[in-house]
């Protein structure tokens, strides 16, 4: 049974950065895509970006370009999300999520992408910017 | 980017009612659409993938249909444990956008 365990809650000052980890256990790592999804208080789900560890090339939502970095460490089966230049609007629960299958494709730029939904989610990490 | 519009934003129905939620993509996404259920204070759970395939362990009262730009999630007989917010998500390409969510309550 695959499990994703995320790092603990964070309280950050505006202008600072946060790095959240997500450790995968119970399954293969490198060939499954991982994404980060956030949820502001009382709001919906927002996809931030993701990557396929075997290639290490991330895709980011336009909104977060320049502020988010997603990386993976295959030696520890851990995915990371770093967000810089934090504001109060970044206060949210941050989830990591794993793709349902180890299926990938290539986009028009030749970058590897995954085109499957998420079937495993981490428990969420509360990030408060205040 | 392809926009995903979900409706209604909320609904209230009686136990046993048939409930329908719709999701519309601004461009065709073939059948690469998923539905998730998020109960209050819980993590999202995959219900439906490939527009109409039921995820393992999900009750058969949940069903999905559609292709291209228009999709539907149906709960054939609403149960008290179905109180949750439901989200659609396109996953044909990045960004893997979610719909705005539909909050389902019991009358």
Kindly report the nearest CA distance between residue A81 and chain B, in angstroms. Answer: 16
A20 in Cβ contact with A6 (< 8 Å): yes
Query: Is omega for the bond preceding B8 within 30 degrees of 0, making it cis?
Result: yes
Looking at residue A27, what is its pLDDT? Answer: 83
The rounded average pLDDT for each run of 10 residues, N- to C-terminus, in chain A (130 residues) is 97 98 93 96 97 92 97 97 98 97 86 91 98
| First-to-final CA distance of chain A | 37
Looking at residue A110, what is its pLDDT? Answer: 85
List the one residue out of A60, A63, A67 whose CA is nearest residue A86. Answer: A67
Provide the sign of the torsion angle of the four alpha carbons A44, A94, B43, B2, taken in this order.
positive
Q: Do B46 and A117 touch (CB under 8 A)?
A: yes
Helix (H, G, I), strand (E, B) or coil at B13: strand
- Give B107's DSSP letter: -
Looking at residue B63, what is its pLDDT? Answer: 98
Would you state the structure tokens that stand for residue A52, as one six-digit string? 């396929």
Q: Do B89 and A117 touch (CB under 8 A)?
A: yes
Q: Do B89 and A45 touch (CB under 8 A)?
A: yes
Query: Which chain A residue shows the shortest CA-CA distance from B89?
Result: A117
């Amino acid at each position: 049974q695959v499990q994703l365990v995320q790092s603990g809650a964070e309280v950050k000052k505006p202008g600072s950065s946060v790095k959240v980890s997500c450790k995968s256990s119970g399954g293969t790592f490198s060939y499954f895509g991982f994404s980060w999804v956030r949820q502001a208080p009382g709001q919906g789900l927002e996809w931030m970006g993701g990557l396929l560890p075997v290639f290490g090339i991330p895709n980011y939502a336009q909104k977060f370009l320049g502020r988010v970095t997603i990386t993976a460490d295959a030696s520890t089966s851990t995915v990371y999300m770093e967000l810089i230049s934090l504001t109060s609007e970044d206060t949210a629960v941050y989830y990591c999520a794993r793709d349902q299958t180890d299926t990938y494709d290539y986009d028009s730029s030749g970058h590897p992408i995954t085109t499957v939904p998420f079937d495993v989610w981490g428990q969420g990490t509360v990030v408060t910017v205040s | 980017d392809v926009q995903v519009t979900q409706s209604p934003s909320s609904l209230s129905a009686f136990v046993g009612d048939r409930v329908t939620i719709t999701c519309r993509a601004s461009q065709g996404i073939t059948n690469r659409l998923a539905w998730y259920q998020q109960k209050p204070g819980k993590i999202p759970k995959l219900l439906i993938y490939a527009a109409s395939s039921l995820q393992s362990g999900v009750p058969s009262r949940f069903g999905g249909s559609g292709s291209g730009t228009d999709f539907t999630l149906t709960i054939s007989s609403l149960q008290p444990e179905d109180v949750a917010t439901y989200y659609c998500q396109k996953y044909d390409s990045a960004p893997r956008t979610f719909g705005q969510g539909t909050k389902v309550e019991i009358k």
